[in-house]
């Protein structure tokens, strides 16, 4: 029988990217192959994100474009998973009559069953249950051939209830995965040739809460550091309020732990931080950054910022700029605030005008560019260890990889070097990448 083809489109964050990879691996074990050409697909899955308004709009316009495909091929199965599926549920089936399946964030592992049901009965599937312990958390079949980097889920959901955030509603309560399972998965990945693991969770710093007697996050990092053949460890995301001295000292102690931390600050105004329910002040954040840099002077620090939170004044915004000037992040992801259903912030009055949000965002991004470029230029003339990921997507005659501090470096070299860690001299720095030259002894 002809092998069926699945096309998966992923919206949003690393968590979703990893969920899509899990979906792919599950379906591969049920005899599906992956296609990059949507016109050849027997199954189209959208793995969606609802963290911000813009992400959600993109999902609806993609769905609109799928109607033509279904008209051409009525046997095509279309499914929507992820956060929009979780949030919209039945409304999605109602709004999109040619949609076959809606599956929530805790139901990935049941996909083969759902597909089978659609094929056999033609019935439409809706499954958005959230569970106290998530079977899909543990589902992670073997990686693809020659995979160099892999995500590893260490926890799911979030209990922090930042007032603007939809995650606790669409990804459920915070659940940590037993360390035994995580270590087993990392060992299996290492045996398959994976060199770098990124530990994933909404707030990895609180890993272990709720599973009495198991490891803390720093202990987990120490154990992973001992696993042979794994050469690099990363993690994301960290909540500043839970960043412990033990975790900070891991950066000085563990040779495989890469010198990068993503530490979302969200705002530099204490009034806004309070209204956001972030539970730290700007001063406390700055002190933590100083401690991290003291433990690990080479560390790259990146962050997220929201502008135009309800009630944010010019003075609040200036406080955010002030914090950016003090911390000097390596890079920043910045967003205009958008109301999300069920969240506390969506009920707050004093919404900031969209034009004001746009102006603030542009001022902030222009200001940050200065620091990003300066930080990148500090690497010019220095030799950096690069894990080679393969040919560059924009120029396949060149190789691409990342520094330990997570900067993209492009350079000439043989594709045989893919998967190896090589020394590269940084020649030129740009805003989003660096250009390097490999040490000639590695060129052959």
- Positions that interact with ligand 5AD (CB under 6 A): 51-52, 164-165, 264, 266, 304, 306, 335, 337-338, 340
Q: How far apart are the first and last CA of the chain?
A: 44
Q: Segment contacting ligand SF4 (CB under 6 A): 110-118, 157-165, 219-227, 381-389?
A: 157-165
CA-based nearest residue to 22, from 101, 82, 102, 109: 109
Contact 439, 385 (CB under 8 A): no
DSSP H or E segment with residue 235: strand 232-236
Per-residue interface string for the shown chain with ligand SF4, residues 184-203, x marking contact by CB under 6 A? ------------------xx
Instruction: Catalogue the E-assigned strands of 339-430.
Output: 383-391, 399-402, 408-411, 421-429
CB of 329 to ligand SF4, least distance (A): 17
Among 165, 243, 289, 364, binds ligand SF4 (CB under 6 A): 165
CB of 334 to ligand 5AD, least distance (A): 8
Grouping H, G, I as helix, E, B as strand and the rest as coil, residue 77 is strand
Q: Does residue 262 belong to the site contacting ligand SF4 (CB under 6 A)?
A: no
Q: Which does 177 bind (CB under 5 to 8 A by kind): ligand 5AD, ligand SF4, none?
A: none
CB of 54 to ligand 5AD, least distance (A): 9
Which residue's C-beta sits nearest to ligand 5AD? Answer: 304
Judged by beta carbon distances under 5 to 8 A according to partner kind, the member of ligand 5AD, ligand SF4, none in contact with residue 239 is ligand SF4
Partner from ligand 5AD, ligand SF4, none binding residue 302, C-beta < 5-8 Å depending on class: none
Closer residue to ligand SF4 in complex, CB, 5/165: 165
Examine residue 162 and tell whether it contacts ligand SF4 (CB under 6 A).
yes
Biggest distance spanned by C-alpha atoms of the chain? 66
Q: Smallest distance from the beta carbon of 162 to ligand SF4, in angstroms?
A: 3
Alpha carbons 442 and 414: distance in angstroms, whole number: 9
Among 161, 193, 297, 354, binds ligand SF4 (CB under 6 A): 161
Sequence-separated (6 or more) residues with CB below 8 Å from residue 124: 93, 99, 100, 101, 118
Residues 278-287 as b/e (b if ≥16 CB within 10 A, e otherwise) read bebebebbee
> What is the C-alpha separation between 20 and 10, in angstroms, rounded?
7
Give me the least distance between CB of 56 and ligand 5AD, in Å please.
11
For residues 60 and 83, give the distance between their C-alpha atoms in angstroms, rounded to a whole number.
13
Residue 340 contacts which entry, ligand SF4, ligand 5AD, none (Cβ below 5-8 A, type-dependent): ligand 5AD
Q: Where are the extended beta strands (E) located within 237-341?
A: 260-262, 300-307, 331-336
CA 377/CA 430 separation, integer angstroms: 8
Question: What CA–CA distance (Å, rounded) separates 158 from 370?
Answer: 34
Q: What are phi and psi of 239, to 5 degrees?
A: -95, 125
- 106, interface contact from ligand 5AD, ligand SF4, none, CB < 5-8 Å by kind: none
Scanning residues 220 to 249, which ones bind ligand SF4 (CB under 6 A)?
Answer: 239
Partner whose footprint covers residue 151, from ligand 5AD, ligand SF4, none (CB < 5 to 8 Å by kind): none
Closer of 195 and 239 to ligand 5AD (Cβ): 239
Q: Residues 389, 401: contact at Cβ < 8 Å? A: yes
Stretch that binds ligand SF4, among 22-30, 39-47, 161-169, 434-442 (CB under 6 A): 161-169
Positive or negative, the CA dihedral 383, 385, 390, 395 is: negative
Region binding ligand SF4 by CB under 6 A among candidate stretches 156-164, 323-331, 357-365, 402-410: 156-164
Determine if 413 is a binding residue for ligand SF4 (CB under 6 A).
Answer: no
Which tokens in the block code for residue 36? 């990059």
What is the number of residues in the chain? 444
Residue 10 or 206: which CB sits closer to ligand SF4?
206
Residue labelled with tokens 């998965």 = 185
Binding status of residue 168 toward ligand SF4 by CB under 6 A: yes
* Interface residue list for ligand SF4 (CB under 6 A): 158, 160-162, 165, 167-168, 202-203, 239
């Amino acid at each position: 029988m002809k092998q069926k083809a699945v096309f998966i489109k992923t919206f949003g964050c690393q968590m979703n990217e990893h969920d899509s990879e899990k979906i792919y691996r599950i379906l591969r074990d049920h005899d599906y192959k992956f296609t990059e050409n949507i016109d050849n697909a027997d199954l189209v899955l959208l793995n969606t994100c609802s963290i911000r308004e813009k992400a959600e709009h993109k999902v609806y316009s993609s769905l609109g474009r799928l109607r033509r495909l279904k008209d051409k091929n009525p046997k095509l199965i279309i499914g929507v998973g992820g956060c929009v599926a979780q949030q919209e549920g039945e409304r999605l089936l109602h709004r999109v009559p040619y949609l076959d399946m809606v599956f929530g964030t805790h139901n990935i592992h049941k996909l083969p069953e759902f597909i089978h049901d659609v094929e056999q009965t033609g019935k439409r599937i809706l499954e958005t249950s959230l569970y106290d312990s998530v079977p899909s958390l543990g589902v992670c079949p073997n990686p693809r051939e020659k995979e160099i980097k892999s995500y590893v889920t260490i926890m799911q959901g979030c209990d922090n209830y930042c007032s603007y955030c939809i995650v606790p509603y669409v990804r459920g309560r915070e659940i940590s995965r037993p360390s035994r399972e995580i270590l087993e998965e990392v060992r299996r990945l290492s045996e398959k040739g994976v060199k770098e693991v990124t530990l994933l969770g909404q707030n990895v710093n609180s890993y272990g809460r709720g599973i009495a007697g198991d490891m803390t996050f720093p202990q987990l990092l120490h154990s992973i550091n001992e696993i042979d053949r794994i050469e690099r460890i990363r993690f994301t995301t960290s909540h500043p309020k839970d960043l412990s001295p033990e975790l900070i000292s891991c950066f000085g102690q563990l040779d495989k732990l890469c010198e990068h931390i993503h530490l979302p600050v969200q705002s530099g105004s204490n009034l806004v931080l309070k209204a956001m329910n972030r539970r730290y002040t700007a001063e406390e954040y700055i002190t933590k950054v100083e401690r991290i840099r003291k433990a690990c002077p080479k560390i790259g620090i990146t962050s997220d910022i929201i502008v135009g939170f309800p009630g944010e004044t010019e003075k609040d915004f200036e406080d955010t700029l002030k914090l950016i000037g003090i911390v000097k992040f390596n890079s920043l992801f910045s967003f205009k605030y958008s109301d999300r259903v069920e969240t506390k912030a969506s009920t707050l009055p004093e919404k900031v005008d969209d034009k004001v949000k746009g102006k603030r965002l542009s001022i902030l991004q222009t200001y940050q560019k200065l620091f990003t470029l300066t930080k990148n230029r500090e690497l010019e003339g220095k030799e950096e260890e690069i894990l080679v990921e393969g040919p560059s997507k924009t120029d396949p005659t060149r190789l691409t990889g990342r520094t330990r501090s997570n900067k993209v470096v492009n350079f000439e070299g043989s594709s045989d070097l893919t998967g190896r860690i090589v020394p590269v001299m940084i020649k030129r720095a740009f805003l989003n990448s660096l250009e390097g030259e490999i040490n000639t002894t590695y060129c052959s």
